[in-house]
Amino acid sequence: MLKPSKALLIVGGVLLLAGCSTAKNDDASERSTLSASGEPLRAGLYRVVQTGDVDHQDERCIGAADVAAGRFAVPGTIEDGWTVDTNRMSGGMIEVAARHPSGSRLNIEGTFQKESFDVEGTMEMELNGETHVIRTRQVGEFVSPACPAEAA
């Protein structure tokens, strides 16, 4: 297992951070992404357990606007310098691809149901002339429709 570093924090930033929508009339049930079961992903607070090369547990708010737009990685929560090429949450599938000018690449793929998601992330990066691969798995379970300010 690699020791935590700035690069590992970037992985966490991409995989774990998201913001809740503050719009008063933002109702995900009206415009939401359908899962494989035909149910929309429910907007709200999720408990996320990450395992693999970087173990971590956190809470994540998935806002109604992001659910409606079919976004898993929310713009503005990814570390500066990263370019998101793909950010899709549709038909029960999640897919995110991002790249960094340093040559690092991140891919996230997985599935979602009405109140849960399960994704695997792979990040490839160069450190001291060596290519390192960091693999993680995140399982998120719905906790509440309300998002506390600190989870946003």
Contact call for residues 140 and 46 (beta carbons, < 8 A): yes
For each successive 10 residues of the chain (152 residues), what is the average pLDDT? 38 38 39 55 94 95 92 77 92 95 95 96 93 97 88 51
Q: Can you give the pLDDT at residue 74?
A: 73
Contact call for residues 63 and 18 (beta carbons, < 8 A): yes
Q: Can you give the pLDDT at residue 145?
A: 95
Tokens of 76: 């503005």
CB hemisphere CA count around 50 (13 angstroms):
23
Q: Can you give the pLDDT at residue 37?
A: 56
